[in-house]
Amino acid sequence: MAQGKLSPRQKMINLMYLIFIAMLALNMSKEVLSAFGLMNAKLTESNEAATSRNADFMQGLAEKVDEQPAKYRPLKAQADNISTLANDFNGYLTELKGKMTAT
């Protein structure tokens, strides 16, 4: 390799080694790919649990508004605004995930 001029045979061997190393770098094991699937399942499960807790909270807040409207109506309006923003952001992330997994 320290020589200035390489023979065509040596150039081909060097190119084959370079391609071989690149193929090894791109090869992902089955465990790595299954870890991404497991992580996706756990995140989906976590999102469902958080959505359920948020729905319960909003229902409890609606009941509090019925009991004490003067105190809880402004809080309910803020919670509705936050819920709308969160749903929009979740939709945006879902759209990005769809675009990334489509390719």
Residue 79 near residue 61 (C-beta atoms within 8 A): yes
**How does pLDDT run across 39-59, given as a tens digit for each residue?**
889 988 998 999 999 999 999
> What pTM did the predictor assign?
0.62
- Over pLDDT 90: what percentage of the chain? 55
> Region 14-22: what's the mean pLDDT?
91
Residue carrying structure tokens 């081909």: 12
Distance CA 20, CA 7 (A): 20
5: confidence class by pLDDT, cuts 50, 70, 90: confident
